[in-house]
Amino acid sequence: MNKLNHVAFIMDGNGRWGKKRNKGRNFGHLNGVKTVKKTVESAIRLKIPIVTFYVFSTENWKRPKSEISFLFKLITNYFKEELNNVVSNGIKIRIIGKVSKLPSQIRSALKKVINLTKKNKKIVVNLAINYGSKDEIINAISKIKKKICIKDIEKNLYTKNLPNPDILIRTGGRKRLSNFMLWQLAYAEIYFLDKLWPDFEFKDLKRIINNFKKVKRNYGSI
C-alpha cells in the first residue's frame, strides 16, 4: 500500500461556479474558501500530513483589478476571522511564492499566521500565492554558484524540506498543470475532476486516496 505524504490541489472553477448561479465570480471565490476549509478538515480526518493549495498564480495578475483586490481581501479577512481556529486545530501555515510582491495588508496577515502556527504539527497547509513554477525553478538555479545537479535545485525550491506531492487533484474539467509545481509533480498521480472546486467534497478526496493506495508506483523501474 502506498504511503501518502502530500496532496496538492489546483482549485479551478470558482468563477464559473458563481456565474452559473448568476451571482458573479466573487461569489464563487467566497464559496471556494469554504471548500478549502472543509478540505483541510477532511485531510486531518484522513491523516494526510501535507496539503498544498494553488491560490494565486503569477499569471493571475492579468485578471481584473477588482477581482484581484477581492481575492486578497478574502484571504486577509479569513485569517483574521479564523486565526484562533487555525492555531487551536494544530494547522501549520506555509506560503510558497513571491510574497514580497503582494500588497502590505495581505503580507502582514500571512506573516502573523505563519508565526503563530510555526510550531503546529497536526497538518502542514501550503498556500501557493503569487506562485509560478517556472519562476520558482529560475529562482532556485540563480542561487547555485557551481555545476548544477538535481539535489542542488531541490534544496533551493520554495518547497525545500517537504516531500513532493504524491497526488495532484485539479477540479474544473481542465486537464493541464497551469505552471504549478512542474518540478515537484514529476511522479505524482494526477486526478482531473469535472466538478467545480466549491462542489469538491470529502467523498471525492476519500475515493481518490483509496484509488492511490492501489496504484503501483514504479518511478521508472519495472
pLDDT at 222: 63
Which of 60, 89, 156, 179 is an active site residue?
60
Cα–Cα distance for residue pair 189/208, rounded to 1 Å: 10
Active site residue 164: no
Average pLDDT for 51-59: 97
- Residue 85 — pLDDT band, cuts 50, 70, 90? very high
Which of 12, 26, 126, 166 is an active site residue?
12
Cell of 189: 498521480
pLDDT tens for residues 142-190?
998 888 899 999 999 999 999 999 999 999 999 999 999 999 999 999 9
Residue 86 has pLDDT above 90, yes or no: yes
- What domains does the chain contain, in order, with CATH numbers? 6-214 (3.40.1180.10)
Active site residue 12: yes
pLDDT tens for residues 132-143?
999 999 999 999
pLDDT at 2: 86
